[in-house]
Structure 1
């Protein structure tokens, strides 16, 4: 959103806000005026009520006086009647003295006056009552109108106040959202500018690189590449074949349909084996009632319980093979390595069924041996007994041909490619045979179950389980009945060659289409084998967490390297001293060992000589000393001379021993120092390797330091740029705030002037209304 659009929107919002504020003040003043008028009318109503009460009191007093006057008139009338009667009697009878009576004319006048006054008062009271009733009615009507108008004004005021509050909240939220959006957009603009600069640089580099490559490629094409003419078939067969995507799409679609059929087949077979396990547990012996199962049925139930472990991998392996197919890569038997896993899982299942077959046959034989088994039921069992090996044989046949088809993706296949069509044909025949075998098993089992249900020992649980087994067999027959025609109808596509076509087909005159050269096929096979060899699992690498921990350990060890170096120097000095002492004592020990051996030999020689002297024999001289001829045994002189000669030989031999000991010592010292020199040389080499390692580490640390300094400079520049932008944005915000404040102040002044004008107009209108009311009242009077 542009800044001009935002400013225009804020101006419109400010105008709306000013209008609402002016309406709010005007309505508030009108409500206050109406409330004052209602208060005045209430006061006038109270005054009128007081005057009415006064008139009612006067009426009551006049009524009381009228009653008194009426009684007075009645009394006077009675007196008048009695006076007229007496006058008649007087005229008839004797004359009696007349009582003193007042003048009737005086009473008549007084009565007439009272009557007139009473009439006038009655008329006046009636007129006042009528006027008061009319005034009260008009005031009541006006009061109701004013209350209604006041209620309407109050509701309007409340609604306007609520709308104004909601509008203010909405405007504040929009303002906050716009500010956040503005900040986000500014951040995006900065990021976009930085990315644009980076992309511009990359574009320049890529453009330069591509220009160089284009020039180089153009030069190579012009100088080296021969023109490829697709007109002649003998030259066109050497072209690299292109990928036919329609073939791949159809192959993936057919494999998806096959996956659905295989899933249904696996589900039906799993249901069949599961229900067969339940039936084996309740017939011929019901294990739920405590009766023990036979060893055959127990082992059969154990094997049947393992069916899911052999069936589920079949569907999962084929599903993985289907999910691994892609539309941008051609799928052939040579490249479909996923079929090998599917073939292995199916082979495992076939081996499981072969292991299961003897126990199924023995279980049927045990059912025939039951006393309740009739001859007809035994015949049906034998028919089923003959059908079960056919199922295993058919599955084994399918396994063999599936393994041959899967072997096409191996580099060590033993069959030629021309036999693949025969394998698929035999596979289709095996599926048809599987359908027929399952139909036969379902028929025999249905007949067997109908006969078993007629037995008196057949329980409801057995009947329900048999119905489930029959329904699972019917589902298997239905599934294979769909799978076999599907495979047979698409057999031509399966046995057709790979989806390749030679370039220049439209230019070829041969109606049968061009044929690729055997060299191209060989190259394609070599590429397929190379790609299959590349699909090997990657070697295990060090986990990221372990690498981070090792790096932290390295950093911590680098920080404490000085302390470790000092400890290493001290330890090396101690080790050097100990090694010197060790060498000294080893040398002394070797010398003592040599001396011990010499002394041991000398002692042994002396013991031998002593034994010979005791035996009276001639002493044998030492080997290196020449000995004189021996004398007769009876001559003492000769014996003494012989003894002396032998002693001289011993002295000579001792001297020779000393010289040999010195030579041995020299040889030991020489060997020791030679070993020491060798050890020092190895230590020197180790020290040189450590020095080289430390030198490389120092170089690496120096490079890291240089990179860190460059990164620091870059971040400082970005920080300065960000600070400049922040300062610029703050200036813009200050300017915008001042503009808004000036506009709001101008609008406030304008609203104040408009309020003053409206107030003056309202006063004039009220004055005109009051003048009109006064004129109407004057005319009414």
Structure 2
């Protein structure tokens, strides 16, 4: 029901949003239509102007034609005049020169005027063409925007219509489902009541049987602690050999990885020692610095730390037997490995300052460029992280190894956190080794470009790079191994309880118990708990009865809904009666005031009659007044029984005062008041029912809004989570691409170096073969000389 209300609330919100969007879109469409009307008006005005310009152009063309004809006529006259001038005498030519000059001047003026008119016509036509083009472009853009707005409006209407239809369909399905669930709930309640009756009968039977069994056990059987789980925890348990075999297998894998790590670290230290003797100063050609001498002497001692470390882990692996369960509390040989690892970490801490000083000496060389110095400083920082990673690893290995000591002070529940931290440290060591390999590869590539780089240095650097690559591979395996086996390492010991999980042929326990100390402490705690008083608790019968009452009162949805409906009807009826009795009280108050006023008038008249007439007054008048007062009393101040009777009549008739007789000429007024009261009573009942329906709808829509808001929040959280995962995936892809490029470059460098080495070896072999052939010829030639003689 809450989901339906939530959906309706969300639907109401969406409908409100759509109405708001619809108003905005309608306003935008109206604005666009207004703009289009304005543009059409402007286009109409432009067309009028264009037609005006065209008329002017036509008139100018007509005038131009007339002027052209006039010029032609004048030209012909001029030609005729010239021809005549040649035939006449000089005086006639002198006399005719004046008209020809006038005609030429007029012709020149007409030509200039014609040119100006042509220029104006051309400018007007160009301006008109540009204006028409601009208006046409603007009209196209506005039509395009109008079409887009219309399409968006239609799409929005269609989409929200589909949403409304889908929600209505969901509402219908949920109503059907709600009816089925209510029916199932009612059936379940009936079944629960039936089962509760059966349970009571079974409990009675079991109570009798339990009393009989307890009597037999107390009288006939001895104490057997394998029947109760809490007491059976005091026994020494047996262990699962499959778990032990897997432990040995996993430790075998770890031994292989530790051996590879030790071999890789030994190669790295050895090749670093060789490089320190060659660069920055070759020891065969000069004396190296005191720092490098000390550094080389310490690096030469790496085998004395790494070999015992490898041997200690092999010893720990050999100590894992199938006869006894191996846990952190029983793995005493892990302490030796932890001690050897701590010694090697101390050795790394001793090497770190000399390693850093050696790098700083390389940066101080004159041949060291700024880029190489930056790479050396990056390698400088990476070496610090390398040592720090081993220190963290040593801390958690020491904590795990300390679990088998007698002075161990950390709880067994912390082992899971230790293994998690150990996996994180392994992953951190893997990341540091990748950075170290990458930075060292960059440094080597820059050093090999220097003119002082020798072939010996290049070969040694390639060996160091290969050792770092092997370390990266090995630490990656260790990180994956630690992460994959955290659950296995942190899982509790695989014990089997005696008396419940015996297998055929497996009746005997192990030779040694791995948890004697733990169960001894449990036994002490149990003996102490026996002396304590039992805590107060609710009796079982009372708890079952309370649960039955709770289930019967909370699980009956049909009964609750019926109660809600009855209460709503009762509230409605009470509100109607409240309004009715408020009106009744007002009407009775008005009548009461009138009757009191009338009684006061009658008393005044009676007093006046007594004062005026005295004894001479007629008794009939006083008797009449007393009867009027007596008749007025029941109407003005009714008794309690009269009120009760009136209440019963009015409740059934809802405001019709039929039980009270009206006198003193007030029947018309009473009927009118009754009609008004009936009208307002019916109106109040109608308004009350409408208000209740409206409240129900409001509550329903509010619940739907809350549910949809919750779903929206969950969707946004899921979206943020997916975005974070996508970003992490992109970062991982980028990192893998960088690693691939680094590995590709290193392999390409190694292949090129091996190719050069092979070429050099081929050259050497060729030279040696030539020398051998020459020697063979030199040997053969002396033997041939005697024959020549």
Query: What TM-score, normalized to structure 2?
Result: 0.36
Larger RCO, structure (CA 8 Å, separation 6 or more) = 2
Q: Which of the pair has more CA radius of gyration?
A: 1
